[in-house]
Amino acid sequence: MKTIEYQNRKYTLLGDIHASTFLMYLVDESNPEDYKQIFQKISHQNQVCMIVVAIHDWQGELSPWSAPAIFGKHDFAGNASVLLSELESFWDWFQCEHQIESDQLYLCGYSLAGLFALWASYQTNLFKKVAAVSPSVWYMSFVDYLEQHPIYTNAVYLSLGDKESNAKNKVMATVGTCFESVIKTLQKHNIHLMYEYNPGNHFQDVELRMTKGIQSLLLTSGKEEES
């Protein structure tokens, strides 16, 4: 494991930097998921280098546009485009610094990071595949945005807890309906779409859900649709 600080952001590398596949995993720097355990599980049968990206401001950096807070007083700042530019800059530098020839860069995240991963696939073709696990697709105007724009990735994995729609927050409780709308929208594109429902609420089995999502990306080669 190696940590690189680039433009005031920490990137933790796990695995061989000369692997054929690279996976950017967005985590909250103040409360990261157990990415080491996830990497151990996915690396047994796959040659992959995981790049763990530390997110400083979860609601600010991962939100695609500004929106009012749905709980508390912390509004969504809408700085996703800034973060995406940083990730693009890091990848350019990383490829040059380590003479990386592979273009197989994937992006994955949980919750609001899953929303960012899905949004990023509509901004750039940098990420060949994305995994949006329990993504915050309830986000204001997000479903409408996807319906009105083209996607640039080759494969998308989505998952949602089957009890997430039971959230007490009225906005978050729309996640199930929004999730179904996102699936219908993605089915219109010529991409490989994978989606599934996991048991439990939003905070249940995060490590397991992320592992399943990443493994699905690593096993995907075609573009046919499946559910």
Which tokens belong to 203? 């905070």
- Report the C-alpha gap between 29 and 31 in whole angstroms: 6
Domain boundaries, the chain: 2-219
Which CATH number is 2-219 given? Answer: 3.40.50.1820
Q: Which residues of 96-135 are buried (b: 16+ CB within 10 A; e: fewer)?
A: eeeebeeeebbbbbbbbbbbbbbbbbbbeebbbbbbbbbb
Beta bridge partners of 105: 22
Cα(114)–Cα(136) distance, rounded to whole angstroms? 7
| Residue-level pLDDT, tens digit, the chain, 227 residues | 999 999 999 999 999 999 999 999 999 998 876 899 999 999 988 999 999 999 999 999 999 999 999 988 889 999 999 999 999 999 999 999 999 999 999 999 999 999 999 999 999 999 999 999 999 999 999 999 999 999 999 999 999 999 999 999 999 999 999 999 999 999 999 999 999 999 999 999 999 999 999 999 999 764 433 43
140-153 burial string, b = 16+ CB within 10 Å, else e?
Answer: bebbeebeeeebbb
Q: What is the pLDDT of residue 223?
A: 42
CA torsion through residues 106, 112, 115, 121, sign: negative
